[in-house]
Amino acid sequence: MSQIIDGKAIAAQIKDELKEEVMRMRSGGISAALAVIQVGRDPASSIYVNNKKKACEYVGIHSEVYELPEEVSQEELLALVGRLNRDDKINGILVQLPLPGHINEESVITAISPKKDVDGFHTENAGRLMVGKKGFIPCTPAGIIQLIKRSGFDIEGKECVVIGRSNIVGKPMAALLLQENGTVTVAHSKTAHLKEVSSRADILVAAIGKPKFITADYVKEGAVVIDVGIHRMADRKMCGDVDFDSVYKKAAAITPVPGGVGPMTIAMLLCNCVEAAKR
Ligand code: NAP
């Protein structure tokens, strides 16, 4: 029987720990505040922004949401980022992605002060992660490390395979697993013999963006399988990049979708906000 890694429960545990920390900080005169910028009214983005706001409220982090119209210019958006960078009351700034096509995402991300970049997407923070210096770590891979550790699995010495090499998931994931002394392979769309590569993994992280792509024949018996993908199917049900029903029987542990990696992403954003306030 495979263990189902309960991301909801682990995220709740982290949020409760943070709530206590925020209370302790407040009694020492330190408060945490996050500014979230949303451009346009994409329904999925609105749900994410609202969830972040609610999570901040729960742990006691002040949050401010800036809703800008779809047609806002890049200059106006950059001006707001600049104002928030200079605002001493704001510790963390997050720009909800994706942005409309006329705005260059990279310019906006690099305009955020690295000290307030709680998403960990700024190149300075990406560089810090690569050389093992303290900085902000992207929330999804940071959450996955917590999921693995808090479920009682060791990373050190383990064969880790990450499928996907995006800047926000795959690459930082590989860097973090390496920091934890895993032996890391990064696979992608040009990887030859993917099944052979992924079947070597003691820890397999699937961040591909293709529903139910990873079936049991990609997985080693007894592996820990982390499913980063999120997809809404035609029947409105959600699934991940892993074919849960077949992989569940073979893996030692697996994250479900929903309720696995997803809840951890927000929990780690809160961690980064608290860290930003402390710094
Ligand atoms: P992405 O930027 O589209 O990257 C996908 C990666 O998968 C790329 O590196 C791509 O390789 C690789 N890939 C695509 N097809 C492949 C194949 N047939 N074989 C092997 N590798 C393949 O996606 P992302 O932003 O990393 O996100 C991945 C998934 O995670 C998406 O479903 C996304 O919605 C989800 N996600 C979830 C959370 C969460 O909180 N749970 C957070 C972020 C993302 P190339 O580089 O060669 O193109």
- What confidence score (pLDDT) does residue 241 get? 98
Q: 180-211: string of b/e by CB count within 10 Å (b at 16+)?
A: bebbbbbbeeeeeebeebbbebbbbbbbbeeb
**CA-CA distance, 98 to 81, in Å (whole number)?**
16
Does 254 have pLDDT greater than 80? yes
The arithmetic mean of pLDDT across residues 247-261, rounded, is: 97
3 state DSSP class of 45: helix
pLDDT band with cut points at 50, 70 and 90 for residue 130? very high
Q: Which of 117, 119, 227, 241 is catalytic?
A: 119
Residue nearest to atom 3 of ligand 1 (CA): 209
Q: Which of 6, 96, 146, 227 is catalytic?
A: 96
**Residue of 189, 214, 270 to test ligand 1 pocket, by largest number of atoms within 8 Å of CB:** 189
- What confidence score (pLDDT) does residue 212 get? 98
- How high does pLDDT run on average in the chain? 97
Query: pLDDT tens-digit profile of 73-109?
Result: 999 999 999 999 999 999 999 999 999 999 999 999 9
Instruction: Based on the residue annotation, tell me whether 52 is a catalytic residue of this protein.
Output: yes
Sequence-ordered alpha helix ranges (H) in the chain: 7-27, 43-59, 74-86, 105-111, 123-131, 139-150, 170-179, 194-198, 244-248, 261-278
Per-residue tokens: 142:
């940071």
- What confidence score (pLDDT) does residue 163 get? 99
- What confidence score (pLDDT) does residue 73 get? 98
- What confidence score (pLDDT) does residue 121 get? 97
Query: pLDDT tens-digit profile of 18-72?
Result: 999 999 999 999 999 999 999 999 988 999 999 999 999 999 999 999 999 999 9
**In 141-255, beta strands by DSSP E:** 159-163, 183-187, 203-206, 224-227, 231-232, 238-239, 253-254
Instruction: Based on the residue annotation, tell me whether 179 is a catalytic residue of this protein.
Output: no
Per-residue tokens: 118:
């709680």
- What confidence score (pLDDT) does residue 90 get? 98
Query: pLDDT tens-digit profile of 188-245?
Result: 999 999 999 999 999 999 999 999 999 999 999 999 999 999 999 999 999 999 999 9
Does 180 have pLDDT greater than 90? yes
Ligand 1 centroid – CA 155 distance (Å): 22
pLDDT band with cut points at 50, 70 and 90 for residue 171? very high
Does 1 have pLDDT greater than 90? no
- What confidence score (pLDDT) does residue 274 get? 98
Rounded to whole angstroms, what are the CA distances from 273 to 31, 64, 83?
10, 13, 18
Instruction: Based on the residue annotation, tell me whether 220 is a catalytic residue of this protein.
Output: no
- Positive or negative, the CA dihedral 237, 243, 249, 255 is negative
